Structure 1
């Protein structure tokens, strides 16, 4: 059987191993497994969300409100934009898929950082687009601009804070860059971890209202999977001028977000205290990773997210260490597929982090 030739050069995205798989492979009791691989919120989600979702379980037999008016209204108020400026996706990665299919075709060029979220490239290859990458590990906006001038890409992806490294750009640098980009080039600002970045450094905050008012060719992406603790609900969003959103709606399937997910995201937005507590815990526990890295003489990338990237020494092997940890019930992310001898570790609870330190030190 023949398939689309564009699929030939696409590697399947490998998500962090689920707890259930580790139980099956190694026979470890589920209560003894710690998952620090997928950047989930170790505090879970707001108790108000749990209560709200439980109250509407009887509605599972009905299709969701396809207008998503409750969630759009909540996002509209939070960001000071109109409902017409918002599209909701099954995770922000679904919005990324919409964007590439809306703007790129075979032979189009898409510019992104050398190390960044893998789904940008995977979706680009769906349509046969050419991926252009920077040489720098961190986002160098001067390098981005030079490649933009040389290659004239249809789409530019800027992930800030960046996944899987954790570094982030000052908002001012992004705005200065955008002023030099022509209006027909779509620029995607992926802010999946922005809540954590703002808590650490206010200069990283991108005010979405100002962004889309100044630039008609820019879309901002956010998600409920990280700080809001709703990874299992799969809700993300894009915010842009109404013309961009209108085109994306032509690609959106009906009922792409479940009734329970819409309710969960809407209520999560209301509980700002929960998010504040989550990011505060994250900052406190991240300091422990910084101290650990210093003690072990391991480089750590300054992170503005809810994870840390530990860059191992040449005599240490990230794949080997990740696998040894896995056999002990500790799930982390090996970054060798990004050509990095590094592991990415979600910042967990105090207890989870203590267990990680106790285990990994045996293999360093």
Structure 2
């Protein structure tokens, strides 16, 4: 069977290893496995959301409200935007897929930083588009502008805070890029971790409403991180109505489940849970910074719910990751991104105790 030629240049996205894999391969009891690889919320899901999921379990045979009226109303109230400005996706990465399908072809190019979310490249390559990367993993204005003027990309991706590095681009710098770019290029501002950045320093806080003044900008958000709904797969895009209408032509019917919709509606209301999640993160990430300093390796100042350690010539990220995996601790090796480092989700105090114990033993 012959497949589309564009598939030859696409690498399959490598998700974080599941707990079940460690249980099968190493015979470790599930309760003794600590998963800190996929940036899930370590305290789980809001109890109010869990109750709503249970209450709606008997509706699993029914399709959801495809207008998603209540969820859009909740997001409209949260961000002070209109229903017509919102599209819902099965995770924000589905909105990324809609964007690529709506805009790209084999004559197009897309621009992104040297190290960023892998799905930008994968969706672009599915459409035959060319990938252009800056030299740095940071979103540097001069590098983006040089590449923009040289290649005239159809899409520019600004992931802030950035995954998998954890750094953030200031609101001022993002707006500088937006102001410089012409309307023929779409700018995607991916704010999957924006709740963490906003809580740490409002210099990095970007709201969807302030981006609605630009016809060529879309803001992406998700319920997978601070809201604790990674397993429910709900994300959203916010942009001017003309762009949203175009993306709706890419959207299949009922693209999130009945239970996911109910969960997201309730999650959007429970800001107290989000505040609790962020407070835990701000408390525990200091331990990770101290651990790096104590053991003499670098870390990237994080504006997300994870931290990136850079080993330089001192350690090998693959050896460290594999050794921890055999001990039942799952972290993310960044070797596939061309970095000798690891990305670790900031866990609960108990999870972090286990991580630091094994980490210390491994590197000694």
Structure 2 length normalisation: TM-score? 0.99
Residue aligning to 1:129? 129
Aligned to 1:336: 335
Give 3-state SS (helix, strand or coil) of 1:187's partner: strand
Q: What is the alpha-carbon distance in structure 1 between the residues aligned to residue 312 and residue 168 of structure 2?
A: 24
Question: What is the match of residue 166 of structure 1?
Answer: 166
Matched, 1:281 2:295: no
Whole-angstrom distance in 1 between the partners of 2:281 and 2:2: 48
Once residues 173 and 140 of structure 1 are traced to their aligned partners in structure 2, the CA distance between those partners, rounded to angstroms, is 8
Q: Alpha-carbon deviations, 1:18-48, whole Å to 9, x = none?
A: 0011111111100000000000000111110
Counterpart for residue 152 of structure 1:
152
Report the Cα offset of residue 107 of structure 1.
2.2
CA distance in 2, matches of 1:207, 1:2: 45
1:96 corresponds in structure 2 to 96
RMSD of aligned C-alpha atoms? 0.7
The residue number in structure 1 matching 2:224 is: 225
Distance 1:35 1:360 in 2: 14
Alignment partner of 1:192 is 2:192: yes
Structure 2: gaps of 5 or more residues = none
2-side partners of 1:260 and 1:45: how far apart?
14
Query: Which residue is 2:119 aligned to?
Result: 119
Report the 3-state secondary structure (helix = DSSP H, G, I; strand = E; otherwise coil) of the residue aligned with 1:165.
Answer: coil
SS in 2 for 1:8: helix
Alignment deviations for residues 307-350 of structure 1 (CA, whole Å, 9 cap, x no partner): 00010131311011101100000000000001100010000000
Specify the SS of the correspondent of 2:358.
Answer: helix
**d(CA) in 2 for partners of 1:254 and 1:87?**
12
Distance 2:193 2:347 in 1: 15
Query: Whole-Å Cα distance in 1 between the matches of residues 114 and 35 of structure 2?
Result: 27
How big is the shift at 1:173? 1.1
**Structure 2 CA distance for aligned equivalents of residues 57 and 134 of structure 1:** 47
Shift of the alpha carbon at 1:276? 0.5
Aligned to 2:18: 18
Q: Deviations over 1:171-222 (max 9, x none)?
A: 111112211110111000000000000110011111211111x211000000
Report what 2:214 is aligned to.
215
Query: May I ask how many residue pairs the two structures share in their alignment?
Result: 363
What is the CA deviation profile of residues 243-265 of structure 1, one whole-angstrom value per residue up to 9, with x for unaligned ones?
Answer: 00000000100000001001101
For 1:9 and 1:107, locate their aligned partners in 2 and report how far apart those are by CA, in whole Å. Answer: 16
Whole-angstrom CA distance in 1 between matches of 2:95 and 2:115: 20
CA distance in 2 between counterparts of 1:61 and 1:6 reads 37
- Structure 1: distance between partners of 2:64 and 2:218: 25
Q: Is the partner of 1:7 in helix, strand or coil?
A: helix
Alignment partner, residue 242 of structure 1: 241
Aligned to 2:251: 252
TM-score for both structures, normalised by structure 1:
0.99
- Counterpart of 2:132 in 1: which secondary structure? strand
CA distance in 2, matches of 1:199, 1:324: 34
Distance 2:306 2:180 in 1: 32
Match of 1:109 in 2: 109
Cα distance in 1 between the residues matched to 2:312 and 2:354: 22
Instruction: Describe how 1:9-88 pairs up with structure 2 within 5 A.
Output: 9-88=9-88
Partner Cα separation in structure 1 for residue 362 and residue 316 of structure 2: 10
Indicate the residue corresponding to 1:323 in structure 2: 322
Distance in 2 (CA, whole Å) between partners of 1:144 and 1:280 is 34
Unaligned runs of 5+ in 1: none
Q: Note the alpha carbon deviations across 1:59-93, whole angstroms, 9 max, x for none.
A: 11111111011100100110111111000000000
**Cα distance in 2 for residues equivalent to 1:10 and 1:150:** 24
